[in-house]
Chain A
Amino acid sequence: MQQLIPAIGFGLITASILAIAAVGFTLQFSVTNILNLAYGDIMTACAFAAYLANHAGVNIWICLVIAALFGAVFSMVLNRYVYFQFVRRGTRLFAMIIVTIAVSLIIQNVLLAIFRPTFFSYRADAGSSYHFGSMVFTASQLAIMVIAVLAMLCVHVLFTQTKLGKAMRATATNPSLARSCGIATDRVIDVAWLLSGALCGIAGVVLVLNTATFSEVTGAGFLVPIIAAAVLGGIGQPYGAMLGAITIGLAGEISAALISPAYKGVAAFAILILVLLVRPQGILSEVADAKEVAA
């Protein structure tokens, strides 16, 4: 029990990383209806982009911006030249999932061929430790949490305060109707991929800052918790993804503290299953209902 409060603190760090990644993942899905299982590998590719810049002498926080830009462009190009080619041929959701798995494997193996099977670390100091009661955070972890909060706020402002956000929500809910109303849905989809890719890039770098090392499969290994957070919150719901990320992040650390580290992976997914049994559409369900995904 003595470890519960620190575990909550540690869970918040995991939740922050997960929230950035899951919001990017679900935002893109909500607008495009493509379940992009290559998302984790794009995170890894972004982490490598930041690595190259970092080892060329660039500060890690500037590398974070570079990774976000790389992720944005990479995701948009991936959609334009790969995924969209299938979409316009009428490829259905399940077949698109297979396409994204293929893209995932291609990215992984290209990274493996380029960087070889070894592990990489950033040249970045974790910084001093700060105590908040019995919670302990390093400077870089505090920065990760601040970045997560800022990213979530930006997403919130985008959705509620801007025309683009409203257009994205309209496209997510009913693309045909949105088009009929004069919304340039193709442009909205491009922007969704750009934003999702930028969040993916940020998530890739903060993930590696947290794990200290990475390889070509690091992002892919993080995909399951990302999807779990997105599904838990109601897939296609950015606010739901935030909620899901907090639940999954905290559940893992708290179960490790109270039960056993061996059940860390189990606890979070047990919660996921329980929630979905009670509420199959996820915690926040608007878009999931519309797209008939969660059910």
Chain B
Amino acid sequence: MYGRPAQISVRVALAILAAVVAGACGTTQSATPKTYTGTLTFASFNPFTGPDASFGPEMAAGCITASNLINQSGGLLGHQTECIAVDTRGDPADAVPAAQKMLATNPNLVGMNGPSSDEALATVPIINRAHIAMFADSGQAAFDKSTFEYFYRLTPPDDAAGVAMAIYAFNKGYRRGAAVFGNDLSSQGNVPNLLSAFKKLGGQIVLNQTLTLDQTSYRTEVQALIAAKPDVIFTEADPQTDAAYLSQLKQLGSLIPVVGTQPTVQPPWLTAVGGAIGNDNLAKYFAAAQPYAPSAGPAWDAYNTALLASASQIPQPDQWSQDPYSETDYDAINIMALAMAMAKTPDPTFYNQYIPKVVASASGATEVHSYKEGIDAIKAGKTIQYVGPGGPVVFDQYRNSTGAFELVGYASDGTNPHLATISAADVEKYRS
């Protein structure tokens, strides 16, 4: 993401080639489950450094919280659990060896969260071939019809986020939109459907800018933006890029409403942009679309209590209290753990088929909101439907579960007040 497109394309090509080669050298399922001794490992496979370094801690917060609650509930099939952080650096060239190392050095690895959009194309084949269940936070549309049997996704694809942004802006009365997105894979994934949805709604895209990331100046780009006279900016770029861009817009003209994607709700983006344009301006002009998680009810209470109690392992845990990705990452660990309990083994090749059953809305199923409730119900011989803080999970045939979006703002106390909800049906209506 640091302005090295040509280099990235070669490295990505090599990484994908390595992934295909590694993928072709996998193992096949044995007749009996593998035996595990000691602590079972879940991985948070995401960027912990690099431009998307905020993704990893967000994911780890969910994993650690779930693992702690599993351990407090007596463990999983007689094992304690742990979460490890595997840093992909947000770059396929780093992520492929990181995946290979993770698989080679963690014999008790039973499931994982990730990968993100930055490295999913290169690493999903490797992880799938190793028969490790993965709950990706990748928003790439390439996985909308995934055929990887160990791939699951609880959050909407990036192109759906673009539609939600367009609907919100149109409903707010904005008719002249400017798309200002970074030239990285993750950001660009939002653009096509944002443009088409805003046009379908009756709006006009007056400018579509692709920003080279982390430049010292965006004044020429800002000048072009001012000349196009938009009434709203749609954006996703890394924190430093958006901070420089918006601060230079403030210098050269005046700020206008900004609608961002979920990464713009994360603390590094808010810190950078708030520092650059002032927190008052951020509160006045900013909104962002993120997957909707109710952040209320018994499942969220259990999650939030455990999260806040994990301050020794999770810095500033309250920042993840209402984070939909942390919540769904927490759900993912619980779903895998309950699937293991149903399959009576932590071996992914055996428990993988139980994952959809953990969340299925079967008739007579007992709704459970935590691992503890789930394990008790399973022990009592009941059929369960897990509904966690991320809300009900409804997998389609491609193991994707997409839901509604919410638009949040920024308050001077650092919280993100709810502004609007965009239903899954509305998103689907305007999605290409």
Task: Name A's B-contacting residues (CB within 8 A).
Answer: 2-3, 6-7, 10, 13-14, 17-18, 112, 117-121, 126, 129, 136, 138, 207, 210-215, 217-218, 221-222, 224-225, 252-254, 256-257, 260-265
Q: Known contacts being A14-B217, A118-B271, A210-B217, is A261 close to B211, with CB within 8 Å?
A: yes
Please state if A119 and B209 are interface contacts (CB–CB under 8 Å).
no
Q: List 6 A-B contacts (CB under 8 A).
A: A6-B223, A7-B223, A215-B239, A261-B221, A263-B212, A264-B215
Please state if A119 and B268 are interface contacts (CB–CB under 8 Å).
yes
Given contacts A10-B217, A13-B217, 14 further A-B contacts (CB under 8 A): A119-B239, A121-B243, A129-B252, A207-B216, A211-B243, A212-B244, A213-B239, A217-B2, A253-B219, A257-B220, A260-B210, A261-B211, A262-B183, A265-B215
What are the residues of chain A within 8 A of B267 when measuring CB–CB? 118
The docked-state distance in angstroms from the alpha carbon of A210 to that of B214 is: 12
Please state if A2 and B268 are interface contacts (CB–CB under 8 Å).
no
Please state if B239 and A253 are interface contacts (CB–CB under 8 Å).
no
Please state if A213 and B240 are interface contacts (CB–CB under 8 Å).
yes
Please state if B216 and A119 are interface contacts (CB–CB under 8 Å).
no
Task: Name B's A-contacting residues (CB within 8 A).
Answer: 2-3, 5, 49, 53-54, 183, 209-212, 214-221, 223-224, 227, 239-240, 243-244, 247-248, 251-252, 267-268, 271-273, 275-277
What are the residues of chain B within 8 A of A136 when measuring CB–CB? 251-252
What are the residues of chain B within 8 A of A18 when measuring CB–CB? 216
Closest to A17 in B: B216
What are the residues of chain B within 8 A of A6 when measuring CB–CB? 219-220, 223
What are the residues of chain B within 8 A of A118 when measuring CB–CB? 267-268, 271
Q: Known contacts being A221-B214, A262-B212, is A212 close to B247, with CB within 8 Å?
A: yes
Please state if A253 and B217 are interface contacts (CB–CB under 8 Å).
yes
Please state if B220 and A3 are interface contacts (CB–CB under 8 Å).
yes
Q: Known contacts being A14-B216, A221-B3, A262-B210, is A213 close to B272, with CB within 8 Å?
A: yes
Interface of A is mostly: helix
Please state if A256 and B275 are interface contacts (CB–CB under 8 Å).
no
What are the residues of chain B within 8 A of A260 when measuring CB–CB? 210
What are the residues of chain B within 8 A of A263 when measuring CB–CB? 212
Partner of B216, one of A7, A211, A254, A261: A211
Number of A-B residue pairs at CB separation under 8 A: 116
B296 smallest CB distance to A (angstroms) = 29
Please state if A13 and B219 are interface contacts (CB–CB under 8 Å).
yes
Please state if A119 and B275 are interface contacts (CB–CB under 8 Å).
yes
What are the residues of chain B within 8 A of A221 when measuring CB–CB? 2-3, 214
Q: Known contacts being A126-B251, A136-B252, is A215 close to B240, with CB within 8 Å?
A: yes
Please state if A211 and B224 are interface contacts (CB–CB under 8 Å).
no
The docked-state distance in angstroms from the alpha carbon of A85 to that of B244 is: 40
What are the residues of chain B within 8 A of A264 when measuring CB–CB? 212, 215
A256 smallest CB distance to B (angstroms) = 4
Please state if A265 and B276 are interface contacts (CB–CB under 8 Å).
no
Please state if A119 and B223 are interface contacts (CB–CB under 8 Å).
no
The docked-state distance in angstroms from the alpha carbon of A253 to that of B220 is: 6
> Which of B183, B209, B216, B243 has the largest number of chain A CB atoms within 10 A?
B216
The docked-state distance in angstroms from the alpha carbon of A263 to that of B212 is: 8
Closest to A138 in B: B251
A216 smallest CB distance to B (angstroms) = 10
What are the residues of chain A within 8 A of B271 when measuring CB–CB? 118-119, 213
What are the residues of chain B within 8 A of A121 when measuring CB–CB? 243, 272, 275-276
The docked-state distance in angstroms from the alpha carbon of A87 to that of B397 is: 64
What are the residues of chain B within 8 A of A217 when measuring CB–CB? 2
A269 smallest CB distance to B (angstroms) = 10
Going nearest first, the 6 A-B pairs with the smallest beta carbon separation are A121-B275, A119-B272, A212-B276, A10-B219, A212-B247, A256-B220
Please state if A261 and B251 are interface contacts (CB–CB under 8 Å).
no
Partner of A117, one of B2, B227, B251, B268: B268
The docked-state distance in angstroms from the alpha carbon of A10 to that of B239 is: 21
Please state if A7 and B220 are interface contacts (CB–CB under 8 Å).
yes
Q: Known contacts being A118-B271, A121-B275, is A252 close to B243, with CB within 8 Å?
A: no
Partner of B243, one of A3, A207, A213, A225: A213
Please state if B240 and A265 are interface contacts (CB–CB under 8 Å).
no
The docked-state distance in angstroms from the alpha carbon of A225 to that of B4 is: 12
